A and B are shown apart, each in its own frame.
Chain A
Amino acid sequence: MGLRGKTWFPILYMFIVTLTLSAILILFGNITRQRVTNNERIAYERAVLRALPVDLPSGAGPAQIHNIFLANITDPDEKSAGAHRYMVEDSLLAYALPFEGAGFWAPIKGVIGISRDRKTITGIAFYEQNETPGLGGEIVKTEFTRQFVGKKLAMTPPYIEFLPATATLDESSVHAITGATQTSNRLGKFMNTILGTWREHMDDPQ
């Protein structure tokens, strides 16, 4: 009877295999960790810049996006109620308010840009979503996001309203995505809640 017949052998064998494979994974994780963190950071920065009236060159690489972000965007603070500020030569041009909430399948995370009048939307962009491709996933498409540009936040909730595709729009409404009622409703709901909280803080910083 060799080693395989010993009662302690399966435990030792399992330990050695686990240790070896885990060590390789930890090593690989360490090698790629910085890259993964950077990817997440760049996805967020790209969304912030897309939501703002920033002249972002098409096909801008990660380094370029990061440099433009660092040069023009401030970190969120209490004064801006959690929004980034878009500054050019010390003058405020717009706010970028991050928002997130539960989508149909998974969290939706995005950024909405609001001009310094705190009323006009400059753009919207998403950096994380897992909605159904072709339906809820269409929120990331230009056809949906460009509707927001130039819209005015209403004085009372809903600040921005999602209406069916056949409805006539006013200055505070956009068309929801046909066939993605759940995604549209959820997005509209949490976006309006966050916009409401932000407005409250900005109007009354107490």
Chain B
Amino acid sequence: MMPQKSTKDVVLTAVWGDNPVFRQILGICSALAVTNLVLNTLVMGLAVVFTTALSGFTVSLLRKWTPRVIRMMIEVLIIAFYVILFDQTLKAYWPEMSRNLGPYVGLIITNCIIMGRAEAFANANPPLLSFVDGLFSGLGYALVLLAVAVIRELLGMGSLLGIPMPLFSSALWDRWIIMVMPPGAFFTLAIIVWLARTIQVDKDIKKQGGK
């Protein structure tokens, strides 16, 4: 059985050391699809945080009764439950955002980060710690998405959260249309993954006291 980690370790690992996007390369589909507007990205990130945290908590709560042979079906069922709750809430209380995100909220069900945390952590740890792990894994995902979205919206549309930004919305700045299109997401994400991994490799080398 996996040794139990401290809350601080769980948080640091989820947000940085084992970040779902730039360390594990998970959740890339939505990271590419919804990051051309910061507001859409914020809500998408919130949806993933909500689902990862609560599904981790629930999977952990049921882990002692769930038969191993059907545990993955149960995990998918729990994840789908929270995603549908979030999707329905958006449809009822924020219809414009629901229309903007289209099918991507529903597709969170297939996001490997959530299933990954349920399998790798919640199945072997107590509910509260699993909740914290899910919460910060979701946050780790949301922060990377937000970084991609800020770059794309600023360079591609000259705005942030729909508010025109000085210089980038003026005639001096020729909007980089490619940034709001899918290739812009690939370039931006690749650069962020490269930077984050370079920083981590440097840290690891220093920690080992080697070259």
Contact = CB atoms under 8 A, between A and B. Distances in A.
Residue with the greatest number of chain A CB neighbours at <10 A, chosen from B69, B78, B88: B88
Interface stretch (B89-97, B105-113, B188-196, B200-208): B89-97
Contact of A135 (B78, B100, B177): B177
Interface in A6-50: 9-10, 13-14, 17-18, 21, 24-25, 28-29, 32, 35-36, 39-40, 43
A25 B84 contact: yes
B156 interface: yes
Contacts of A36: 88, 91-92, 95
Contact of A32 (B40, B67, B92): B92
Contacts of B69: 10
Nearest to A135: B180
Interface string B43-82: 0000000000000000000100111011001100110010
Contacts, number: 71
Binding site secondary structure of chain A: helix
Given A43-B95, A106-B102, A130-B102, A14 B73 contact: yes
A24 B92 contact: no
Nearest to A32: B92
A128 interface: yes
A128 B77 CA distance: 30
Contacts of B102: 105-106, 130
B92 A39 contact: yes
Interface residues of B, number: 31
A152 B62 CA distance: 66
B92 A134 contact: no
Contact of A132 (B36, B66, B78, B95): B36
Contacts of A39: 91-92, 95
Contacts of B5: none
A202 B177 CA distance: 42
Contact of B67 (A10, A24, A106): A10
Contacts of A28: 85, 88
Interface in A34-91: 35-36, 39-40, 43
Interface of A: 4, 9-10, 13-14, 17-18, 21, 24-25, 28-29, 32, 35-36, 39-40, 43, 105-106, 128, 130, 132-135, 179
